[in-house]
Structure 1
């Protein structure tokens, strides 16, 4: 369904949404045209919200409470759409609820400051104050891998800041997004304040990113698409989260059992389809043998397969083509000298955990963002070599470092070029209270409740 100017509409042409595990159709989405997308943006831009901060607080908290009550239904839909395991889908719903509540509180804290002006030789004592105002119309483009949480990550702060929003969810996973927007409206959000447009990204997406009514674009997806959007968008604000080849550095003084546990969770969660997951593991040579043994032990504990089974830890990839691409990268690495220590046979779109050792530094498996449950080990001599390798890459989202030496921890934190450096945990670490975003090709701007609100507001200065 499309939401345009406060009305839900159906189109004659539909997009079939399929469960990636068994290819069964689980629903349909309307296929919008570029003209409809532009019209939706125009209507959303024209709407002027008179919601108070407390109104927005109540809408977001009410939405959080309803989603919490309907956790089973939301989780089931996530499983159907993207093939995430039920355990992971339930976790995603709870994360969305938490973020909604945090953004609700932040809606009441959007404030400016008073600035002294009598600091120059003319001694004029004027009064200057700043206010934070909504940026206007926010275009949110979301990916398939977390069909509910990624929508909440973008819409909750935008609405907390009193912006109008037009949402373009992934054409693969639009059902959770539509359900979430209906929940917002049921809890008091004016229907004209948000638009939903589903359809072919080449038509709908292109129309929206070049639409003059859009004041900001927030996008999560591939680097290639992000770069195209940046070139098309022109002089408007953008916030891009474009992925990573997330590194975990394990030094010879690390707690290896904890490090192996973090590596497994970061590499295998969501079947490896996570932008802040573990994509490469740099292990100091003296402990690499033992670490690889421990990581294989962790990998063998991971259950995988039917995402609806409550017993499975991970489900499947978004489609069989994605699974084949992961398998090809693993095989290419093995041909280049890597050793596959563990890797059950692929079945359709289901790829089990893979642990590889002696992976070449230039293997595409580790240079590019591989969306699959792979744990590639690269052996390094010392921290300096690990840092140099991490910094030489094109990405820089989050990096994990395991060490018990506080001096080495500080050295790593200072020298690694990354949006975040996490000591004694993996790059998958997250919290709604901290800024999230990368450097280099990993993106622009920051997410995280308060920090996203700052991105989605403008500063107005008033001088008396």
Structure 2
């Protein structure tokens, strides 16, 4: 495990392989319940008090260092995740941006004073760190998913225990080393690597862990939530995010948004476009524009400058996508382009006339697929959109503000974007969903609020004798 500022000797190790070449990239400890308990104990024993200014300075230095080492981190992310170089460079920039926002927000954490109505007492609220925060992160963005857990936790003054995906642990360890170099106190940070079933349950259930923040699948999230019963929880459990293309939309821009949003990270993004609801009167024209936009996406070696998407995280994941595409075609969809699989690589696909009840669109499909579902009107589109277990984000393309507000009001999602896809994001706004998409909100300021608890102090008031 990584504790006290460095990796410790390990009894067992796991080799991480390059997602494209299959060659070893590095080895990490395969920690178990004993190491998990030791990591929590080290953080619980530390708990040193730091000022907002100190925390802000550490996060600012970390952002500067990460920016300076962008090439190094991009190369590492591409190797262990298979995400193409174009995107991993953006991921590093995005992570640095999150750190800078957290640095600013660290100095804005404050309470309030509340004079009681009868004037006898004054209440003062004091935000305090919730305690040890356990951050469990997925494979698809090995750096930024870590940063969106780490940055608000450290800004709030919480000791942080990271459990990165067993598929992509190297980036998290490199980032932990960077944080220590940036001045993060060694007893405020630990990283445990290993198989989820071996370290996840003892970490989530440990009595000294005060909060669990998790990003991953619904099934795993529910298992984590059960283990962490009674603790504060922030769960981001995925999405089945729709893009609505109304008849008055700019169809060329809509096709580009749909292509980009369905293929980013090879389709392995919780906020990526998973369904495209297109009004029937423009569906033929839209699909004719979408086909070349998706077909132009180059799939292959993620290190090449001209590659748009690399392999999925595993061949098993690619087989799931292949099977769902084939099932959709059997159910009546028309495969317009793409969908071929070569190992873990899936060619980006467009499907038209997709039945709304086929598995490709009722479940969260993690692959580069743009499924077009033709609808008659807003009522049908909203009904179908709300008809799955998920409710993360949505995008609506229209020039009609009344139509937009009507759709936005009826959607059961955490965010609706006008003129953008569901994949739009910013560290300044809340991020999270409803229904099976999760509990609580990320976004730096909102995550900091989740990671603090309010202590109220009352004093004799200035206007009474209390």
Question: TM-score, normalized by length of structure 2?
Answer: 0.97
The one-character-per-residue Cα deviations of 1:63-122 (angstroms, maximum 9, x if unpaired) are 11011011100000000010000000100000000000000000000011111212xxxx
Matches of 2:45 and 2:18, distance apart in 1: 37
Moved more, 93-102 or 253-262: 253-262
SS at match of 1:72: helix
Distance in structure 1 (CA, Å) of the matches to 2:391 and 2:339: 31
Which residue number corresponds to residue 347 of structure 1? Answer: 342
Q: Which residue of 2 aligns with 1:281?
A: 276
Structure 1 position 285, deviation (Å): 0.5
Query: Is 1:36 aligned to residue 35 of structure 2?
Result: yes
Name the SS for the 1:49 alignment partner.
coil
2:326 is the counterpart of 1:327: no
Counterparts of 1:98 and 1:200 in 2: how far apart (Å)? 30
- The gaps in structure 1 that reach 5 residues or longer are none
TM-superposed CA distance for 1:7, in Å, is: 4.5
Q: Structure 2: state its 5+ residue gaps.
A: 460-466
* Counterparts of 1:186 and 1:167, CA distance in 2: 17
The superposition leaves residues 147-193 of structure 1 with CA deviations (integer Å, 9 ceiling, x where unpaired) of 00000000000000000011100111011100001001001111111
Among candidates 229, 244, 252, match of residue 257 of structure 1: 252
Q: How far 1:344 sits from its partner (Å)?
A: 5.4
Give the distance between the partners of 2:457 and 2:345, measured in 1 at CA.
Answer: 58
Q: In structure 2, what is the equivalent of residue 444 of structure 1?
A: 439
Instruction: Provide Cα deviations, 1:328-381, integer angstroms capped at 9, x if missing partner.
Output: 110010011000000153221111110000111111100111010000011111
Correspondence for 2:463? none
Give, in whole Å, the separation in 2 of the partners of 1:255 and 1:21.
Answer: 37
TM-score by length of 1: 0.98
In the alignment, the residues of structure 2 paired with residue 459 and residue 293 of structure 1 have an alpha-carbon distance, to the nearest angstrom, of: 55
Alpha-carbon deviation of 1:5?
A: 4.2
**How far apart are residue 4 of structure 1 and its match?**
2.7
User: Are residue 373 (structure 1) and residue 372 (structure 2) matched?
Assistant: no
Partner of 2:125: 130
Secondary structure (helix, strand or coil) at the match of 2:209 reads coil
Residues 219 and 240 of structure 1 are in contact (CA less than 8 Å); yes or no, is this contact kept in structure 2?
A: yes
Question: In structure 2, what is the Cα distance between the partners aligned to 1:21 and 1:362?
Answer: 34
Query: Which residue of the other structure, out of 291, 294, 314, is the alignment partner of 2:289?
Result: 294
For residues 346 and 9 of structure 2, the distance between their equivalents in structure 1, rounded to whole angstroms, comes to 36
- Partner residue in 1 for 2:113: 114
d(CA) in 1 for partners of 2:11, 2:45 = 27
Q: CA deviation at 1:39?
A: 1.6
In the alignment, the residues of structure 1 paired with residue 389 and residue 225 of structure 2 have an alpha-carbon distance, to the nearest angstrom, of 17
Measured in 1, the distance between the counterparts of 2:114 and 2:407 equals 37
Q: Supply the distance in 2 between the matched residues of 1:139 and 1:171 (Cα, whole angstroms).
A: 16
> 1:399-418 maps to which residues of 2 (within 5 A)?
399-418=394-413
CA contact (8 A) 1:144 1:173 kept: yes
Q: What corresponds to 2:95 in structure 1?
A: 96
Asked if the contact 2:216–2:238 (Cα under 8 Å) also holds between the matched residues in 1, the reply is yes
Structure 1 position 258, deviation (Å): 1.2
Alpha-carbon distance in structure 2 between the residues aligned to 1:158 and 1:268:
31
Give the match's secondary structure for 1:240. strand
Give RMSD over aligned pairs. Answer: 0.9
Mapped partners of 1:202, 1:48: distance in 2? 28
Between the aligned partners of 1:50 and 1:457, the Cα distance in structure 2 is 14
Q: After TM superposition, which residue ranges in structure 1, 4 or more long, deviate above 4 angstroms?
A: none
Q: How does 1:410-429 map to 2 (within 5 A)?
A: 410-429=405-424
